[in-house]
Structure 1
Amino acid sequence: MTPAIPHGPDDLTPSWLGAALGGGATPVAVDRVVVTPIGTGQTGATYRLAVDYPAAGAHPRTLVAKLPAQDDTVRAGVTLGYLAEVEFYAGVAHRTRVPVPRCHHSAVNADGSEYVLLLDDLDPAQQGDQVAGCDEEIARRAVTALAGLHGPTWCDASWLELPVGSMPKPRDTDAAGGLGQVVEMIAPAILERFGPFLDDTDRETLRLALELMGPWLRTDTGRYALMHGDFRLDNLLFDVDRLFVVDWQTLGVGLPARDLAYFIGTCLDPELRADAEQRLVAAYHAELLRHGVRGYDLETCLADYRLGMLQGPLIIALGAAFAATTDRGDDLFRVMLRRSCRAIRELGTLDLVRAADATT
Structure 2
Amino acid sequence: MAPAGVVDGPEELTPEWLGEALGAPVTAVAYEKVGSGQIGACYRLRLDGGAGVPRTLVAKLAAEDTDARSFLAPAYRAEVSFYRDVAATVAVRTPRCHYSAASDDHTSFVLLLDDLHPAAQGDQLAGCTPARAADAVTNLAGLHGPRWCDPTLLDLPWLNAVGQEDADSLAEIFGPAVDTFAERFAGDLDGGDVRTLREIAEVIGPWVLGRAGRFGLVHGDYRLDNLIFPPEPGTGVTAVDWQTLSLGHPARDLAFFLGTGMGPAERAAHERALVAAYHDALASYGVTGYGLDECFDDYRFGTLQGPLITVLGCVYGTPTERGDRMFLAMAARSCAAVRDLEALSLV
The interval holding the TM-score normalised by the smaller chain is over 0.9
RMSD over aligned CA atoms reads: 1.7
Does 2:15 align with 1:14? yes
Which secondary structure state, in structure 2, belongs to the residue aligned with residue 36 of structure 1? strand
Asked if 1 retains the 8 angstrom alpha-carbon contact of 2:59 and 2:111, the reply is yes
Give the CA deviation at 1:206: 1.6
Q: What letter matches 1:197 in structure 2?
A: D
Give the CA deviation at 1:313: 1.8
TM value normalised by structure 1? 0.91
Q: Return closer, same or farther for 1:344/1:180 CA change in 2, 3 Å cut-off.
A: same
2-structure distance, mates of 1:74, 1:317: 20
Q: Report 1:179-198 matches (<5 A).
A: 179-198=170-189
Give the CA deviation at 1:177: 2.2
1-structure distance, mates of 2:321, 2:62: 20
Does 2:201 align with 1:205? no
Give the CA deviation at 1:111: 2.7
Give the CA deviation at 1:128: 0.7
Which secondary structure state, in structure 2, belongs to the residue aligned with residue 208 of structure 1? helix
Which secondary structure state, in structure 2, belongs to the residue aligned with residue 33 of structure 1? strand
Asked if 2 retains the 8 angstrom alpha-carbon contact of 1:44 and 1:75, the reply is no
Q: Return closer, same or farther for 1:111/1:209 CA change in 2, 3 Å cut-off.
A: farther
Question: What is aligned with 2:224?
Answer: 233
2-structure distance, mates of 1:246, 1:34: 23
1:311 is aligned, of 305, 316, 319, to 305
Give the CA deviation at 1:221: 4.0
Which secondary structure state, in structure 2, belongs to the residue aligned with residue 289 of structure 1? helix
1-structure distance, mates of 2:67, 2:204: 26
Q: Return closer, same or farther for 1:246/1:70 CA change in 2, 3 Å cut-off.
A: same
Deviations for 1:278-324, whole angstroms, at most 9, x for unmatched residues?
11111111111111001101111111001101111222233223333
Does 2:43 align with 1:47? yes
Does 2:11 align with 1:3? no
TM value normalised by structure 2? 0.94
Asked if 2 retains the 8 angstrom alpha-carbon contact of 1:96 and 1:153, the reply is yes
Query: Which deviates more from structure 2 when the two are superposed, residues 37-46 or residues 243-252?
Result: 37-46
Q: Report 1:156-167 matches (<5 A).
A: 156-165=150-159
2:84 is aligned, of 90, 102, 109, to 90
1:168 is aligned, of 161, 167, 191, to 161
Does 2:239 align with 1:245? yes
Question: What is aligned with 2:283?
Answer: 289
2-structure distance, mates of 1:113, 1:321: 23
Question: What is aligned with 2:120?
Answer: 126
1-structure distance, mates of 2:167, 2:157: 16
Which secondary structure state, in structure 2, belongs to the residue aligned with residue 49 of structure 1? strand
Give the CA deviation at 1:195: 4.2
Give the CA deviation at 1:196: 3.6
1-structure distance, mates of 2:285, 2:57: 31
1-structure distance, mates of 2:291, 2:74: 34
1:31 is aligned, of 27, 33, 50, to 27
2-structure distance, mates of 1:120, 1:82: 18
Q: Return closer, same or farther for 1:124/1:252 CA change in 2, 3 Å cut-off.
A: same
2-structure distance, mates of 1:335, 1:42: 20
Asked if 1 retains the 8 angstrom alpha-carbon contact of 2:39 and 2:63, the reply is yes
1-structure distance, mates of 2:332, 2:186: 11
Asked if 1 retains the 8 angstrom alpha-carbon contact of 2:175 and 2:198, the reply is no
Which secondary structure state, in structure 2, belongs to the residue aligned with residue 197 of structure 1? coil
Which secondary structure state, in structure 1, belongs to the residue aligned with residue 322 of structure 2? helix
Question: What is aligned with 1:25?
Answer: none
Q: Return closer, same or farther for 1:83/1:42 CA change in 2, 3 Å cut-off.
A: same
2-structure distance, mates of 1:112, 1:321: 25
- Identity, in percent, stands at 49
Question: What is aligned with 1:65?
Answer: 59
2:108 is aligned, of 111, 114, 131, to 114
